[in-house]
Amino acid sequence: SIELPRHARAAIDALERSGFEAWCVGGFVRDALMGRNGGDIDIATSAPWQEAKLAFEAAGFRVHETGTKHGTITAIIGEEPIEATTYRVDGPYTDGRHPDSVTFVQSIAADLDRRDFTMNAIAYHPVRGLLDPHDGRADIDAGIIRAVGNPERRFSEDALRIMRACRFASQLGFAIEGDTMRGMEYCTPLLASVAKERITKELQGFVCGSAIHDALMACNRILAFFMPEITAMQGFDQKTPYHQYDVLEHTAYVMQNTPPYPLVRWAALFHDMGKPQAFFTDDEGVGHFYGHAKLSIELAKPVLKELAFPPSFSSDVLLLVRYHDDVIEPTPKAVKRMLRRLDGRIDLFRAMCDLKRGDSLAQAPKCRKRVAVADELDRILDQIIEAQEAFSLRDLAIGGTDLIELGVAQGPEIGQLLDRALEAVIDERVENDRDHLLAFVRKQWR
């Protein structure tokens, strides 16, 4: 039932012509059984890597020694890379992240036993068919992520598997089996010893998954290891007519209702994080959260830093969080004012619309008309771009040198004057041409 691409078949044939055994394994087999194709192809083989290299070269393929310590080489077959790894089991993990050693083994069955989840422990051969000793196929059909063997042992061997399970849940829309989840939660503290970049990479996949709502609801106790405020968000009743869910579930719905790119998804994850701390009820028992966006920012900052995101990405996320709740009237003026606050960044404005749309979709049905407002904002931005109207300092018909020529001293005053000029242009108090602007600045400056 699985269609192997030609180059995968060629790799298996090359190894088997040299007298070894080879199977297609891992994500490719899992995805193919789900009716999805694409993705990297991994081959498991009885050949030691040196022998595998000779077999590939004999077939005319180029070979790169990409991980020979773990028995892995990469063959390039018709431009396509294929990884081949010798059957192996992993030795003890004293640091919870790298096996201290790997031991090469004789059988594919032993190799499948060391893999993380049943859905990832299936081998396929174009002639011999499926080899599925852990019933991974049944779990795939049922949409279940289940550890191979004893969950607690498997997650304490390698805590990164906890994050892989979260990511797969979000990307595939699978549920995590009960004992597996208990093992994940029990071993969560071990994540402290896993390399940050590897965690961030899994989290990125998690956050951008197509089933993020269910995955966040299922994995929230694990996520709380990196962002403790998640615990306060869960079960936190907002007591307003606009919200039907607690803050965590609202957040999960907002994420689900935004397109799957990191900037907007991370902003959505953080946008209401400050609500539990900002919350108070008035005399009528209605909930309020004045300034919650500011608190959300303060809570997001250390998380973004801990996860070692590039500073420019972090500051973009924080800008979206900061302004997510500001009302933008669907008028060109209001749109340009917001653009100015976003440093003229069109991409950030689009992300803001995506976030606002997702937020409205996640609120009570009577708030859904705000969705139309977000659409309208996008349209107004299109018109502003089309008409090449000014909304950032770059678009202004004068610049810093013009002001210096006027006699303004170099320093912060230049920026302030230009900013005021831009504000006036956006508010249509002055035209965006050189003479009008210079006259305006002269008046302001005195």
Binding residues for ligand ATP, rule: CB under 6 A, are 26-27, 39-40, 42, 115-116, 120-121, 158, 160-161
Angle made by CA atoms 113, 119, 120, in degrees to the nearest 5 = 55
Closer to Mg ion by Cβ: residue 75 or 227:
75
Instruction: Give the separation between CA 108 and CA 99, rounded to whole angstroms.
Output: 19
Least distance from C-beta 401 to ligand ATP, angstroms?
52
From ligand ATP, Mg ion, none, which one binds at residue 115 (CB under 5 to 8 Å depending on kind)? Answer: ligand ATP
Residue 176 or 381 with smaller CB distance to ligand ATP: 176
Per CB under 5 A, does 81 bind Mg ion? no
Among the residue ranges 34-42, 107-115, 281-289, 416-424, the one whose residues contact Mg ion (CB under 5 A) = 34-42
Applying CB under 5 A, the span of 33-41, 63-71, 320-328, 417-425 interacting with Mg ion comes to: 33-41
Contact status: 27 vs Mg ion (CB under 5 A): yes
CB of 103 to ligand ATP, least distance (A): 15
- The smaller minimum CB distance to ligand ATP, of residues 112 and 414, is found at 112
Of ligand ATP, Mg ion, none, which one does residue 158 interact with (CB within 5 to 8 Å by kind)? Answer: ligand ATP
Report how far residue 302's alpha carbon sits from residue 297's, in angstroms, rounded to the nearest whole number. Answer: 9
Burial class (CB in 10 A: 0-12, 13-18, 19+), 327: exposed
Q: Least distance from C-beta 142 to ligand ATP, angstroms?
A: 18
Cβ 166 to ligand ATP shortest distance, Å: 12
| Options 17, 36, 37, 40; binder of Mg ion; rule CB under 5 A | 40
Contact 359, 327 (CB under 8 A): no
At which residue do the structure tokens 């595939």 appear? 172
Q: Which residues contact 342 (CB under 8 A, 6 or more apart)?
A: 319, 323, 348, 349, 352
Instruction: Give least dist CB 157 to ligand ATP, A.
Output: 8
Q: For residue 236, give every residue at least 6 positions away whose Cβ sits within 8 Å of its Cβ, in sequence order, or none.
A: 246, 247, 248, 275, 276, 279
Q: How many CB atoms lie within 10 A of CB 296?
A: 27
- Give whichever of 40 and 141 is closer to Mg ion, judged by the CB atom: 40
- The smaller minimum CB distance to ligand ATP, of residues 147 and 295, is found at 147
Residue 43's nearest CA partner among 143, 150, 117, 124 is 124
Q: Count CA atoms within 13 Å of residue 370 on its CB side.
A: 22
Which residues have C-beta within 8 Å of that of residue 322, sequence separation ≥ 6?
293, 294, 297
Cβ atoms of 164 and 147 closer than 8 Å: no
Q: Is 343 in the site for Mg ion (CB under 5 A)?
A: no
Q: How far is the CB of 428 from Mg ion (least distance, A)?
A: 55
Closest CB to ligand ATP among residues 88, 356: 88
Q: How many residues would you count in the chain?
A: 446
Gyration radius from the chain CA atoms: 28
Nearest to Mg ion of 154, 164 (CB atom): 164
Residue 136 or residue 276: which is nearer to ligand ATP going by CB? 136
Are 114 and 90 a contacting pair, CB within 8 Å?
yes
| Residue 332 binding partner per list Mg ion, ligand ATP, none, with a CB distance cut-off of 5 to 8 Å that depends on partner kind | none
Binding footprint of Mg ion on the chain (CB under 5 A): 27, 40
